[in-house]
């Protein structure tokens, strides 16, 4: 009985660590900011957004939410650019636009042709500051 309880415990511990690892890949702390990454297949978004970019094949909607690490308040006065590229290769850089509605975030569409690892490099400039912060995410694009 003890061995059965221990094996259940270790299975739960392993599953919890996997969930926490996934969350840590989508959240970074950089220069006093909490930065959250979201990536959604474009087919699941509204066609009204970004000139019908959602209808193009292999397009993904990349979203970034920014919060002040100390106060927890949303950051809405930043300018963001993102570069999305397969690991080890060059990519495309686009300005992330302010998305309004229920949740304030910065977003744009990017093409990710093949399943695999992608680097999503986000450049953040807060307010009138000339200083730029960099957040570097690695995203696993799933198979179709």
Around 12, how many Cα atoms within 13 Å sit in the side-chain half-sphere? 6
Average pLDDT over residues 67-84: 95
pLDDT of residue 123: 98
Model confidence band, residue 42 (pLDDT cutoffs 50, 70, 90): confident
66-82 residues labelled b (16+ CB within 10 A) or e (exposed)? beeeeeeeebeebebbb
Give domain status of residue 36, yes or no: yes
Q: Could you tell me if residue 112 is inside a domain?
A: yes
Q: Does residue 49 sit within a domain?
A: yes
Q: Would you say residue 38 lies in a domain?
A: yes
* Mean pLDDT, rounded, of the chain: 82
Please report, for the domain that includes residue 90, its CATH number: 2.60.40.3340
Tell me what pLDDT residue 81 has: 98
Task: Tell whether 131 is covered by a domain.
Answer: yes
> Could you give the number of structural domains in the chain?
1
Higher pLDDT, 19 or 117: 117
Q: How confident is the model at residue 4 (pLDDT cuts 50, 70, 90)?
A: very low
pLDDT at position 43, please? 84
- Establish if 53 belongs to a structural domain: yes
What percentage of the chain carries pLDDT values higher than 70? 73
- % pLDDT > 90, the chain: 58
Domain that holds residue 50: 29-141
CA 71 to chain centre: 21
Average pLDDT over residues 118-135: 95
Does residue 93 surpass a pLDDT of 90?
yes
Model pLDDT, residue 102: 58
């Amino acid at each position: 009985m003890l061995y059965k309880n221990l094996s259940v415990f270790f299975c739960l511990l392993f599953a919890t660590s996997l969930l926490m690892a996934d969350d840590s890949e989508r959240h970074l702390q950089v220069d006093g900011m909490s930065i959250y990454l979201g990536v959604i297949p474009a087919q699941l978004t509204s066609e009204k957004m970004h000139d019908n970019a959602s209808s193009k094949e292999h397009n993904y909607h990349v979203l970034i939410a920014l919060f002040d690490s100390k106060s927890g308040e949303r950051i809405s006065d930043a300018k963001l650019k993102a570069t999305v590229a397969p690991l080890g290769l060059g990519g495309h850089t686009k300005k992330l636009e302010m998305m309004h509605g229920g949740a304030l975030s910065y977003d744009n569409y990017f093409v990710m042709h093949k399943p695999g690892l992608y680097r999503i490099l986000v450049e953040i400039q807060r307010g009138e500051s000339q200083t730029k912060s960099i957040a570097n995410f690695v995203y696993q694009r799933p198979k179709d």
